[in-house]
């Protein structure tokens, strides 16, 4: 039964469809894996076993993933009656539970997924490591002394360790792609507004946040996107619809593309292992017939970028905690937030409305200059390391209590390649194409023009076929 959990979600769904296994058997196998493996990793923080068994035994929707178990991140996605604490001691102290399903939760259900648990996340999803004070660190199945990344680190650990094949994830500055890189997974961040944030939000943090999942195969990423994309009633805007199902891009010929490579943005240069990962990916792309050269949008090197992004990010996190205070009606108490979170929230509250609008306007203007590299200069994809380092050791983000912003500066050094594409709204994917000499996964990021997930998925599938990773299994696994 355990071997079934090494299959991707598409193969698991095929077994259910052919009646070689029942949804209940598949869900029981996942629950057994969580019970055995999770104590070593601390990926799943809220078990949902009884509800999952009831749902698997009942009438499941006949979606593409009927009966397939998954986990959902304890951030943003709400499910009626289930806890949602967003990595905070504040909401944990209140024992807060959701009173509705978000649109994405409903779409996951309609796709046939059965949720077996909710996964760990850093407080408010702020840091690119999953070590919240509220629930403790999630450990990397490739090396339990290492970070899983963040903020979807709990989902990534569960998927990498073969507890489940799909984990919900979201991304406001790299939070799908960073944990995918650190855990050896596929992490697709869709275009802005490709996946609805209804009913609670129109967009989040000025349009920075995107929702989807971490998976172990490109085809799973494509079919999950097929199942959940599209606008909901009242969305402020939506992404251009695809010309055909995303699953049809897997195995499709993308033609000969112009692909730029860079291992440095904004003055930050990636570590040698990450540069080696990118170089190897470039050679592989050339062998597949693509034109590859050193190039990138120079607008991304503007030194003012970080300050304007930080203003948008800080104000967004101040809004986020105020949102929960309004929802619960319970004020924060001293010490409810971690020092880094409190410092970021305090910074956000100090930013005036005009300053926030100036930051957003500056970033939008820079996005126009960035996208000209695709639209005017004729490039199809940009390839970078996903992050600038191999997975850091746990505790690397712990700083002097008198320097609460240390963790944020440490985060900036780790992730110079991901937040820019939340700002521009472009789709980007992290692929597990390299492992370090120590056996740690190192991701490579591909970025396409806005709305062009089709190009990303076609090239990602090419790379997966040329350099398959399915047989790479971490030491800690089901």
User: Which residues are tagged catalytic?
Assistant: 73, 151, 175
Pairing of β 258-261 and β 268-269: unpaired
Residue labelled with tokens 């997930």: 453
For residue 115, the cross-strand partners are 70
Pairing of β 69-73 and β 114-119: parallel
Contacts for 118 with CB less than 8 Å, ≥ 6 apart:
44, 45, 46, 48, 71, 72, 73, 74, 82, 83, 84
Token couple for 276: 């080696």
């Amino acid at each position: 039964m355990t071997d079934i959990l090494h299959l991707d979600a598409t193969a698991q769904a095929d077994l259910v469809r052919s009646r070689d296994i029942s949804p209940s058997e598949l869900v029981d196998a996942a629950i057994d894996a969580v019970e055995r493996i999770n104590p070593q990793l601390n990926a799943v923080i809220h078990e949902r076993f009884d509800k999952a068994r009831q749902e698997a035994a009942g009438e499941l929707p006949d979606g593409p993933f009927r009966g397939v178990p998954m986990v959902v991140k304890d951030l943003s996605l709400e499910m009626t009656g289930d806890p949602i604490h967003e990595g905070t001691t504040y909401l944990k102290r209140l024992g807060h539970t959701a009173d509705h399903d978000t649109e994405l939760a409903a779409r996951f259900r309609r796709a046939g997924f059965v949720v077996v648990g909710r996964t760990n996340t850093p407080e408010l999803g702020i840091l690119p490591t999953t070590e919240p004070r509220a629930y403790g660190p999630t450990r990397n199945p490739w090396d339990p002394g290492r970070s899983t990344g963040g903020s979807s680190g709990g989902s990534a650990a569960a998927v990498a360790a073969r507890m489940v094949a799909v984990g919900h994830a979201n991304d406001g500055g790299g939070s799908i792609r960073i944990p995918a890189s650190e855990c050896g997974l596929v992490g697709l961040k869709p275009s802005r507004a490709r996946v609805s944030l209804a009913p609670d939000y129109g967009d989040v943090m000025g349009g920075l946040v995107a929702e989807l999942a971490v998976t172990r195969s490109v085809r799973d990423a494509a079919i999950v996107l097929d199942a959940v994309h599209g606008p909901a009633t009242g969305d402020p805007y939506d992404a251009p619809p695809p010309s055909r199902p995303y699953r049809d891009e897997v195995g499709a010929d993308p033609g000969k593309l112009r692909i730029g490579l860079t291992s440095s943005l904004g003055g930050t240069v990636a570590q040698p292992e990450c540069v080696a990962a990118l170089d190897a990916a470039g050679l592989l792309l050339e062998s597949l017939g693509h034109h590859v050269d050193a190039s990138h949008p120079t607008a991304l090197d503007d030194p003012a970028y970080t300050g304007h992004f930080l203003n948008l990010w800080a104000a967004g996190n101040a809004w986020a905690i105020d949102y929960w205070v309004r929802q619960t009606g319970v004020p924060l108490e001293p010490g409810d937030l971690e020092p880094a979170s409190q410092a970021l929230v305090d910074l956000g509250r100090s930013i005036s409305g005009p300053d926030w609008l100036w930051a957003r306007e500056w970033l939008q203007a820079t996005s126009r200059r960035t996208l000209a590299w695709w639209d005017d200069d004729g490039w199809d994809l940009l390839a970078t390391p996903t992050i600038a380092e191999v997975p850091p050791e746990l505790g690397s983000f712990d700083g002097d209590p008198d320097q609460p912003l240390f963790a944020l500066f440490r985060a900036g050094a780790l992730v110079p390649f991901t937040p820019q594409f939340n700002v521009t709204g472009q789709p980007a994917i992290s692929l597990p194409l390299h492992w370090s000499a120590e056996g740690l996964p190192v991701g490579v990021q591909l970025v396409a023009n806005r709305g062009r997930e089709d190009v990303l998925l076609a090239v990602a599938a090419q790379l997966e076929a040329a350099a398959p990773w399915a047989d790479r299994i971490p030491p800690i696994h089901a």
